[in-house]
Amino acid sequence: MIKAIEYFLEIIRGALVTSRHFIVNMWFHILNLFGIKTKRKGAVTIQYPEEKKELAYRHRSLHRLLKRDNGRPRCVVCQLCATACPSECIYIEAAEDPDDDEFQKYPATFIIDLSRCCFCGFCVEACPEDALRMDTQKIEIAEYNRRDLIYDLTKLTQ
């Protein structure tokens, strides 16, 4: 019997929390409707995925590798990004660039395993060539298979 009363009280408590949020939100929306500016705004439900929230300019989204004019990645395989990465999810293999005197190396393999990435942005900060950015504004990168989250040169330079 005591358990039943406890459960009932929990239901009442839950209903009160929901009602409080509803009334507070409604209050802010009403103030907004009458043009009264408040520090806090009423919560708005976004009908995702039909409706999408605009991301902040500096939001760290899916990585991309920038290219030089000759189409090769801007990366000079210094490995700084891989060293800075706390998740150890960047793997790069260098190759000798036969056409370019200035940049003697280019990445023959450049892999980011996004299943391990924590989107900290350290790799972007570490890059001295501004070759790696996280400004694609793509955040919908979920896959059914972990292997599909391994991004190679082709996917990173798209």
Amino acid at 96: E
Q: Which spans of this chain sit near ligand SF4 (rule: CB under 6 A)?
A: 75-81, 84-87, 89-90, 92, 112, 117-123, 126-127, 129, 131-132
Given the complex with ligand SF4, which of 31 and 124 has the nearer CB atom?
Answer: 124
Q: Least distance to ligand SF4 from the beta carbon of 136, Å?
A: 13
Give 14 or 86: the residue with its C-beta nearer to ligand SF4: 86
Q: Give the separation between CA 117 and CA 85, rounded to whole angstroms.
A: 9
| CA gap 124, 131 in Å, rounded | 8
What is the closest distance, in whole angstroms, from the C-beta atom of residue 96 to ligand SF4 in the complex? 15
Q: Which is nearer to ligand SF4, 28 or 155 (CB)?
A: 155
CB of 66 to ligand SF4, least distance (A): 9
| Complex with ligand SF4: residue 28 or 122, whichever CB lies closer | 122
Write out the H or E segment, with its range, that includes residue 107: strand 105-113
Measured CA to CA, the distance from residue 80 to residue 86 in angstroms comes to 12
Looking at the Cβ atoms of 120 and 153, the one nearer to ligand SF4 is 120
Beta carbon of residue 12, minimum distance to ligand SF4 (angstroms, whole number): 45
Give me the least distance between CB of 121 and ligand SF4, in Å please.
5
CB 107 within 8 A of CB 75: yes
Cβ-contact 110, 65 below 8 angstroms: yes
Helix intervals (H) in 34-109: 80-84
Which residue(s) pair with 39 in the sheet?
Answer: none
